[in-house]
Amino acid sequence: MPPTPPSSASEPDTDDETPAAADLLLRATHVVFDFDGPVCSLFATGENGTGSVAPVIARDFRQRLGKDHSQVLKMLDTEGVSKEDPHALYQALVRLHRRSGNDETHELVDNMRAWLDEAEEKAVVDNAFPTPGAHQLLNVLHERGYQLAIASNNSEAAIRSYLVRHELDGFFREGLVRGRPREAWLMKPHPHTPALVRAIWDTAPSSASHHYVMIGDSVADVKASSAQGVRFGFIGYHRTAKQLALLRKESGAKAPMVTDLVRLTDEIVAQPSRVRLTA
């Protein structure tokens, strides 16, 4: 689900649990970020990035399908997915292909994946708006010796382009920026992407003392992180109470929720670092 773009004011933060989230981060050694939401609003538009072009991209996705594959579009509409979420539409198309298994839908999935990749790479240039506090949080964690990674359903090329444009690429070792897998059924909520990141980290001799945290804004993030086991915590981030409630429910009310990464960064800075590992 595309995140709510940043705005100058959040909803009331009665459910904000920033101190608990900061404590979880301070006890961690390795942090995995989802990209669209916790790092930036990829499809932002309007003043201060308060709007979203995701519905426009989803509309174009549907129009592209409808032009030459009207029957496929009709079948997608029976899936009950959001018509304003390009990722939901793409994943529904993949499910349809896996059920049918024919060459036509296989080629169509590849074509729509390439089209979505291009749309996201274009959005990095035209629309992406940094999530308030995200870059500062990445800087602080990097300076304190945390190992950082990204596990996302977005195009890996788009993610890397954003990181380079904002001079954040040096925070991530090789193999630790993971985008949409070519095998699209392995997109989150499947645990595949964060598991790839963890597999790299777990090769270190010190891996027995690693503690991991994922920062995400979707139910898919909760599911993908919880599948990693007890040493893999989760922090939910969103600026709307409705989405935080969904994240809290999916986590069994066990994960702290935050609405403001600036406040979270301030909480981290105010306390001494506990990180002892750099691998």
> Can you give the pLDDT at residue 8?
39
Nearest-5° Cα angle at 84, 83 to 89: 55
Spell out the SS3 assignment of 183-197.
CHHHCCCCCHHHHHH
User: What whole-number distance in Å separates Cα of residue 233 and Cα of residue 25?
Assistant: 9
Spell out the SS3 assignment of 11-46.
CCCCCCCHHHHHHHHHCCCEEEECCECCCEECCEEC
Q: Which fold has domain 18-41+129-269?
A: Rossmann fold (3.40.50)
Instruction: Name the pTM for this structure.
Output: 0.90
Mapped onto helix, strand or coil, the DSSP state of residue 125 is: helix
Q: Could you read off the pLDDT of 191-211 as tens digits, one per residue?
A: 999 999 999 999 988 888 899
Residue spans of the domains in the chain: they are: 18-41+129-269, 54-126
> Can you give the pLDDT at residue 3?
45
Tokens of 130: 């940094």
> Can you give the pLDDT at residue 122?
97
Q: How many CB atoms lie within 10 A of CB 143?
A: 10
Complete edge-to-edge strand list for the sheet that includes strand 212-216: 177-178, 147-151, 30-33, 212-216, 232-237, 257-258
Tokens of 199: 């597999």
CA atoms 129, 134, 139, 145: torsion sign:
negative
Q: Could you read off the pLDDT of 226-261 as tens digits, one per residue?
A: 999 888 999 999 999 999 999 999 999 999 999 999
